[in-house]
C-alpha cells in the first residue's frame, strides 16, 4: 500500500514537470508567432471605422492624504482596463490547449486613459505591470497607481463637513468614435479599502459622460467616480472645539471678579489672546476661501463677545471708582438698579441678605444716636426772649448734668460759656462726620450700581456663550 502511494506521487510530479515544460515550449512558440508582425503603435481593430470598447474598473485601496489648503486628494488606486485586440488571437488546439499568457504591458497596444483632473507635475499613469492575454484576444491589465487629483473642498461646516471629490478618467487623444469607455461596475470597488483615520467613505458612484468640446465635433466619453467623504470630527472636537468652549466660559467670569482686584481687564485680554491662537491654528489648515468654516465663525463670535466684555468691564470699573466728587446716583438708577435689579440678581451689601437687612438697621440706629445731640444754637432770627430761654435751658442743663446747684450766678455764667463752646465743637464734629458719611454713602451707592451691572452682564454673557456652544455642538 505504501509503495503504491509513493509511485502515484512520483508519477504525478513527473507528469506536472513534463506539462510545465511543454507549456513553456508552446508559450514561447505562441509568443514568437503573435509578435512576429505585431505593432503596438496602432489601434488593434480590423476595420478602422470600428469602435474599440474599453471597460474600466477602479478599486480604491487607500486615501493617503487630503490637503484642504491646496485642495488636492492623494489616493492609492487599482486600475483595471479590459479590451479586445484583434491581432492577438490564436487557436488553443495548435498550442496544446494554452488559453492565456502573461506578457509585459508595453509590448501590446494600450488605451491612453488618463486622469483628467490630476494635480501633480509627475505622471500618475499606472505602473507597467504585465497584462493577461487570452486566446480570443481579450486583454486584462491590472495596475496600481498613486493619483493626486484636484478636489473642490467646501469647509463651511468644518469640522463636521462632507466632501465630494471627483476622479475623471478618459482617453487623451482618441474620441468616442475610436475608443469608447464603459463602466465595469456602477461604482468604484471599496471591498479592499483600508480604513482611514480622518475620513469615512460613504460611497464611490460612477457616471459616464459624453462631452463635445468647442475645438472638435467628435464626442469624448469619460467616466467620473465621485468619492463621497465624511470627516471624523473627534480629533478636532477634542483639540480645537472643547478647549475653545472652556476658554470662552472664562470671559463672563471677568464680571464676577472684584473691581478692586485690578485683574478684570487682564483676564479678558488673556482669554482674547488664547482665542486668537486657536483661530490661527484653524487658519493654517483651511484654504483661503470666502466660505468661513463653522468653527471659525464660532471663534470669531467668541472673540467678539470677549472684546465686548472687556470694553464693558472698563466701563463698569469707571462706575465703581466714582468717588465723593461724582454726582449722586440718579433717581431712576436707584429704583431700577438698586431697588429691583439688585434683588433679582441677589446683589447685597456686606452684612445684608435677602431676609435680614442688618446694614439698614445699623444706619437707623446711628441716626437715632446722633439725633440726641443738643441743638441749642439753631439757625434763624434771634431775639431777646430766645436768648433768655436758651440761657435758662443752659442753666437747667448745668444744674442737671454738671451738678452746680447752689453756686453763685457768676460761676454759673463761666460754666455756661464753657458748655456753649463745648457744644459748638461737638456740633462741628457731628457735622463733619455727617458730611463724611454722606460722601462715603455716595461712593458706596456707585459701587453697588457697578456691582449690579457686573452681575447682570455676567449672566447675559454666560447665556450667550452657552447658546453658541449648544448651536455648534448641534451640528455634530
Residue 66 pairs with which residues in a beta bridge?
73
Find which of 181-195, 299-313, 320-334 is predicted with most confidence, using mean pLDDT.
181-195
Q: How confident is the model at residue 336 (pLDDT cuts 50, 70, 90)?
A: confident
Cis preceding linkage at 159, omega within 30: yes
Residue with cell 508552446: 26
Segment 8-24 mean pLDDT: 48
Burial 177-209, CB ≥16 within 10 A → b, else e: ebbbbebeeeebbeeebeeeeebebeebebeee
Position 349 scores a pLDDT of 64
Helices (H), 348-408: 358-370, 384-397
pLDDT tens sequence across 38-53: 988 899 998 888 999 9
Residue with cell 453697588: 448
CATH number of the structural domain 39-232? 2.70.170.10
Position 411 scores a pLDDT of 62
Contact call for residues 176 and 218 (beta carbons, < 8 A) = yes
- In a 3-state reduction of DSSP, which class is residue 24? helix
Identify the burial level of 13 via C-beta atoms within 10 angstroms of its C-beta, where 0-12 means exposed, 13-18 middle and 19 or more buried: exposed
Helix pair angle (409-474, 294-320), 10° resolution? 180
Cα dihedral sign, 92-95-96-100: negative
Position 436 scores a pLDDT of 60
Choose among 63, 72, 107, 80: nearest CA to 169. 80
Helices (H), 129-241: 234-236
Choose among 125, 131, 129, 144: nearest CA to 44. 131
Q: Is the overall model pTM greater than 0.75, yes or no?
A: no
Domain residues of the chain, as ranges?
Answer: 39-232, 235-375+410-476
pLDDT tens sequence across 142-159: 999 999 999 988 888 888
Q: What span, in angstroms and rounded, lies between the C-alpha atoms of 177 and 117? A: 23
Position 373 scores a pLDDT of 44
Position 289 scores a pLDDT of 73
pLDDT tens sequence across 224-240: 999 999 999 888 888 88
Amino acid at each position: 500500500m505504501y509503495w503504491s502511494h509513493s509511485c502515484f506521487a512520483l508519477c504525478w510530479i513527473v507528469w506536472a514537470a513534463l506539462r510545465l515544460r511543454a507549456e513553456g515550449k508552446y508559450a514561447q512558440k505562441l509568443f514568437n508567432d503573435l509578435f512576429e508582425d505585431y505593432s503596438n503603435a496602432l489601434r488593434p481593430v480590423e476595420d478602422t471605422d470600428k469602435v474599440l470598447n474599453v471597460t474600466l474598473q477602479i478599486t480604491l485601496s487607500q486615501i493617503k492624504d487630503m490637503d484642504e489648503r491646496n485642495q488636492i486628494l492623494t489616493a492609492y488606486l487599482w486600475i483595471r482596463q479590459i479590451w479586445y485586440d484583434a491581432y492577438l488571437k490564436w487557436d488553443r488546439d495548435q498550442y496544446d490547449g494554452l488559453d492565456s499568457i502573461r506578457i509585459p504591458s508595453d509590448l501590446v497596444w494600450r488605451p491612453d486613459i488618463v486622469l483628467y483632473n490630476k494635480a501633480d507635475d509627475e505622471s500618475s499613469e499606472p505602473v507597467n505591470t504585465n497584462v493577461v492575454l487570452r486566446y480570443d484576444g481579450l486583454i486584462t491589465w491590472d495596475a496600481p497607481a498613486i493619483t493626486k487629483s484636484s478636489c473642490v473642498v467646501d469647509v463651511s461646516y468644518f469640522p463636521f463637513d462632507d466632501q465630494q471629490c471627483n476622479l475623471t478618467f478618459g482617453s487623451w487623444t482618441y474620441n468616442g468614435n475610436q475608443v469608447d469607455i464603459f463602466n465595469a461596475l456602477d461604482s468604484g470597488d471599496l471591498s479592499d479599502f483600508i480604513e482611514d483615520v480622518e475620513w469615512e467613505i460613504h460611497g464611490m458612484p460612477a457616471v459616464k459622460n459624453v462631452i463635445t468640446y468647442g475645438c472638435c465635433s467628435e464626442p469624448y466619453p469619460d467616466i467620473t467616480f465621485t468619492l463621497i467623504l465624511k470627516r471624523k470630527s473627534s480629533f478636532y472636537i477634542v483639540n480645537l472645539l472643547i478647549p475653545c468652549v472652556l476658554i470662552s466660559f472664562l470671559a463672563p467670569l471677568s464680571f464676577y471678579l472684584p473691581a478692586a482686584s485690578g485683574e478684570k481687564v487682564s483676564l479678558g485680554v488673556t482669554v482674547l489672546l488664547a482665542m486668537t491662537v486657536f483661530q490661527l491654528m484653524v487658519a493654517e489648515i483651511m484654504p483661503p476661501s470666502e466660505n468661513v468654516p463653522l468653527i471659525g465663525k464660532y471663534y470669531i463670535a467668541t472673540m467678539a463677545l470677549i472684546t465686548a466684555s472687556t470694553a464693558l468691564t472698563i466701563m463698569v470699573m469707571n462706575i465703581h471708582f466714582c468717588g465723593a466728587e461724582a454726582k449722586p446716583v440718579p433717581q431712576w438708577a436707584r429704583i431700577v438698579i438698586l431697588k429691583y435689579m439688585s434683588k433679582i440678581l441677589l446683589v447685597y451689601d456686606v452684612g445684608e441678605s435677602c431676609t435680614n437687612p442688618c446694614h439698614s438697621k445699623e444706619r437707623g440706629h446711628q441716626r437715632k444716636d446722633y439725633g440726641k445731640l443738643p441743638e441749642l444754637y439753631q439757625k434763624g432770627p434771634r431775639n431777646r426772649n430766645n436768648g433768655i430761654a436758651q440761657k435758662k435751658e443752659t442753666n437747667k442743663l448745668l444744674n442737671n448734668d454738671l451738678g452746680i446747684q447752689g453756686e453763685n450766678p457768676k460761676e454759673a455764667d463761666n460754666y455756661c460759656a464753657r458748655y456753649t463752646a463745648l457744644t459748638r465743637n461737638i456740633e462741628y464734629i457731628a457735622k463733619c462726620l455727617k458730611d463724611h458719611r454722606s460722601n462715603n454713602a455716595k461712593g458706596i451707592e456707585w459701587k453697588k450700581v457697578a456691582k449690579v451691572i457686573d452681575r447682570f452682564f455676567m449672566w447675559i454673557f454666560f447665556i450667550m456663550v452657552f447658546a453658541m456652544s449648544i448651536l455648534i455642538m448641534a451640528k455634530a
